[in-house]
Amino acid sequence: MNVELRGLSDETLNECFALKVGETQAQFIASNADSWEAAKENESVARPFAIICDEKMVGFTMFAFDEDNEDPNDRYWLWRFMIDERFQGNGYGKAALQEIIRYFKEHGANNIRLSTKLTNTSALVLYRNAGFRDTGEMNGEELVLQLDL
């Protein structure tokens, strides 16, 4: 399975916006169109990417890289991560998360943080299996997890 992260372009935006999670997961993540708008509003730190596997767009992810943040534990966030419902259950999520971790390492991050709702059990299993640990912090109603690199 060859997974890579690619920047989005005018030609690929509609394909990305068409990606959706299942109905039961929609409560856990913003739409890709909303995430793209958030990226435009936070251009200095947001890094949105399509998740490509074997030349097929299977998901979307967005990071926050804020090197100016004084707190080293608050500089690098995995803001969004989704695999389209048609591709879930086939290992794309696990492979994409490994590629995301590699990206952070290659760009000098000392850790990665993310937050998710406590009821998002499938995501929590995926993140914890990849080595993320609970920090004991909450981001609103979401549990904060961290992976030390």
pLDDT tens per residue, the chain (149 residues)? 899 999 999 999 999 999 999 988 989 999 999 999 999 999 999 999 999 999 999 999 999 988 778 887 778 999 999 999 999 999 999 999 999 999 999 998 999 999 999 999 999 999 999 999 999 999 999 999 999 99
Pairing assessment for the beta strands 76-83 and 3-7 based on DSSP bridges: unpaired
SS3 per-residue string spanning 60-87: EEEEEECCCCCCHHHCEEEEEEEECHHH
Q: pTM for this structure? A: 0.93
CA distance 100 to 81: 9
Which range of residues forms the domain containing residue 58?
3-148
Domains contained in the chain, number: 1
CATH number of 87's domain: 3.40.630.30
